[in-house]
Amino acid sequence: MRNAKSTGMIISVQGTSLIKLLLGLILFLFFIFSISGLMTSLKPQYRITSSSVHLAANNLTGDLLYKVLGWENHYFLGSLPNRDEGPKLTNVLLKLSTNINLNDPRSLLGRELPGFSLFDSKIIVADKGVNYTNMPVESAPPTEVMKAESEAALQNLDDVQPDGGNSSPPPSLTTGDRKVVYLYFTHNRESYLPYLKGETDPDRAYHSQVNVTKIGEKLKQSLEARGIGTEVSKTDIMGNLNKKKMNFAQAYQESRPVVQTAMTQNRELQYLIDIHRDGHRKDVTTATINGKSYAKVAFVIGAEHSNYEKNLQLAKELHERLNKKYPGLSRAVIEKQGKGTNGKFNQDLSGKAILIEFGGVDNTFEELYRSADAIADVFSEYYWQAESVNQSTGPKTEKH
């Protein structure tokens, strides 16, 4: 009988292969730790954040993605029009790597000129003649003006107070006792030069008494004449900044709790409108409509929050309705985000929040009040149409 011998498997591993494997693992770990160390050692403004990823994703347009798909499946390319050359990959890579857009020279100058990033806004939709050279601008007032230490004397006050309204019959639709629109003023002392005696500097067009709050009073009057209950803030935001020794750039930080308190105290509030004044001169901010002079308006929307799309849609709708009924009244819808701007403007508090620039430093209240009436006219049409559509789920309206 033969002795049984156990059998086994012998695995041969070459020493050079093992060394290569270990070296590869070490190099891989070294690479990972090097990248991690590099990213964490960068200054905060250069680190990859969710906002920078979002910005990069925005630069990848639908045309580019369609073109990339076409490289894999040529049927996609065959469906494109012959004249459509598609986005140039070199331009896209340059924009992603340097944030320079060859179609917008501001992207090159913005990093080199101090303060230029303040103009880093985007025109969503605009009336003719509006471009990046005449977009709405706001500049901080000199310290002594902001603190009302050297306010100009007042003049031409005959047309400052809103009239008592008209004797038109009561509206057929009304919100009753409910206040559904909230008007407030983050830069509440923004004023107009025609009412400031001896003042010609646009940067000094500020006053504690005669300012954009008067427009709020007129807009409230016009909205309520159309059945829309409106609440107007009386808070002196700039006065609060002075008391707390805060600067002009912190105005939205100060107005935010004011809006939040109003929303908490009145759950019926639906629309939040922040009223401002543009810094441009009369030739840019004035329109003649049916032989009458109006102060042009512009809508500013912050893009750094989740309610951005809803607010943008509201602003675009009002812009289009205004210019259809009052040609040339609305200058544009402007989007603001990024370094050098607030990016929210408290509009993250509601999906129905907008900022409206009323006229410029040279406009008169006669012109401003006409514009307030026009906005109330268009807004009321929009509001009641929306209420009609959402009547089954929205607040009930009362009829007279």
Give the mean pLDDT of the chain: 82
Check residue 45 and give its pLDDT: 47
Specify whether the CB–CB gap between 119 and 132 falls below 8 A: yes
| Mean pLDDT score, 316-331 | 97
Most confident of the ranges 89-103, 146-160, 280-294: 280-294
Q: What is the pLDDT of residues 326-335, one digit of tens each?
A: 999 999 999 9
268's torsion region: left (phi>0), alpha (psi -120 to 50) or beta?
alpha
Choice among 26-35, 83-92, 226-235, 354-363 with the minimum mean pLDDT: 83-92
Tell me which of 342 and 304 has the higher pLDDT. 304
| Mean pLDDT score, 126-131 | 84
Choice among 114-123, 163-172, 328-337 with the minimum mean pLDDT: 114-123
Choice among 8-17, 191-200, 254-263 with the minimum mean pLDDT: 8-17
Q: What value does the CA radius of gyration of the chain take, rounded to a whole number of Å?
A: 29
Q: What is the pTM of this model?
A: 0.72
> Is residue 160 over pLDDT 60?
yes
Check residue 382 and give its pLDDT: 97
Tell me which of 1 and 300 has the higher pLDDT. 300
> Is residue 3 over pLDDT 60?
no
User: Among 1.10.230.10, 3.40.630.40, 2.40.50.100, 3.40.50.1370, what is the CATH number of 143-399?
Assistant: 3.40.630.40
CA distance 372 to 7: 97
Q: What is the dihedral of CA 385, 390, 391, 395, to 10 degrees?
A: -100
E-state strands within 169-295? 173-174, 181-184, 230-232, 271-276, 286-289, 292-295
CA distance 321 to 33: 56
> Is residue 62 over pLDDT 80?
no
Residues of the chain with CATH 3.40.630.40: 143-399
Check residue 83 and give its pLDDT: 47
> Is residue 207 over pLDDT 90?
yes
> Is residue 400 over pLDDT 50?
no
Check residue 378 and give its pLDDT: 98
> Binning pLDDT at 50, 70 and 90, where does residue 78 land?
low
| Mean pLDDT score, 157-161 | 89
DSSP character at residue 158: G
Check residue 138 and give its pLDDT: 77
Tell me which of 88 and 114 has the higher pLDDT. 88
